[in-house]
Amino acid sequence: MFRTSSFRAAYDEVLGRWPGPVETVDLPTPYGVTRVNSCGPAGAPPLVLLPGGGSTSTVWGACAAAGAARTHRMHAVDLVGDPGLSVPAPGRALRSVADLVGWLDAVLDGIGPDGPHGPVALGGHSYGAWIAAHYAAARAARLGRLVLLDPTQVFAGLRPGYVLRALPVLVRPTPERIRSFLGWETRGAALDPAWLRLQDETAGFPAVRPVTGPRPDLGALAEPTGMRVDVLFAERARCHDAGRAARAAREALPGARVRVLPGVAHHALPLTAAGEIARRL
């Protein structure tokens, strides 16, 4: 598996800015070892967070610092097959939604007494929100809360122009292409330089095809399960029309709390809207 000292140094620099202490564990799952970075009071309600595609668990540090780690025991997960410190198992690639559900079952089981012995709050951004929504539809009994942050392919499809702009980064990522794409998508928003350096380092990771598939079963999410659902959209997102996606979310999930955050772009959401996310939690 790809690892370089420069990637690890960039990863550790961003992680080092989290409010400490931070506990790092490598959880065995059927699909490989999964790195989880945890912080916050040991007895606080558990909050499991999934990053967007191409990102790492370290992106959640801003939310931790903004207060999420004061109210929750926060567990941030590196997606298997994506940049980060999780290591896929040879011959056991994640290939389907059912595989993702099984993988996340093992992650929640491995978190320990904070997680599986009570309802868990599960959150995700972008592709991580797509995973979280699928998991919630399949395992509603395990969750007390679902937080979807500008979810893609859940309430709306991707804009063709966004896909075309992202293709060079997906096909042959380079630091220059990553920076150019993020600058375009965030409309020049000021982003943490340490996080940007880490994004540069992700260019060297081997391409792993992400699991794709249908949208989550929103009917299952709308059923009365006692699970609270919050959905936050980024008003300046280029990947979809946030207003239309929010209307679709309200129609599909009448009991959910849905809000469009003004002035926020899709990829910058966990960084630039950390205070609002923490307040929602």
Q: What residues have CB less than 8 Å from 228, skipping those under 6 apart?
A: 144, 145, 146, 257
**Token duo for residue 214:** 């249908």
pLDDT of residue 281: 82
Characterize the bridge pairing of strands 46-50 and 120-125: parallel
Please check whether residue 44 is in contact with residue 1, taking contact to mean a CB–CB distance below 8 angstroms: no
pLDDT tens string, the chain, 281 residues long: the values are: 445 889 999 999 999 999 989 999 999 999 999 999 999 999 899 999 999 999 999 999 999 999 999 999 999 999 999 999 999 999 888 999 999 999 999 999 999 744 444 689 999 999 999 999 999 999 999 999 999 999 999 999 999 999 999 999 999 999 999 999 999 999 999 999 999 999 999 998 876 788 999 999 999 988 878 899 999 999 999 999 999 999 999 999 999 999 999 999 999 999 999 999 999 88
Helix (H) or strand (E) holding 209: none
| Phi, psi angles (nearest 5°) of residue 106 | -65, -35
List the beta bridge partners of residue 200: none
Q: What is the pTM of this model?
A: 0.95
Contact 49, 278 (CB under 8 A): no
Rounded Cα–Cα distance for residues 154 and 131 (Å): 10
Q: For 221, list phi and psi in degrees, rounded to 5.
A: -70, -30
- In angstroms, the CA 122 to CA 129 distance is 9
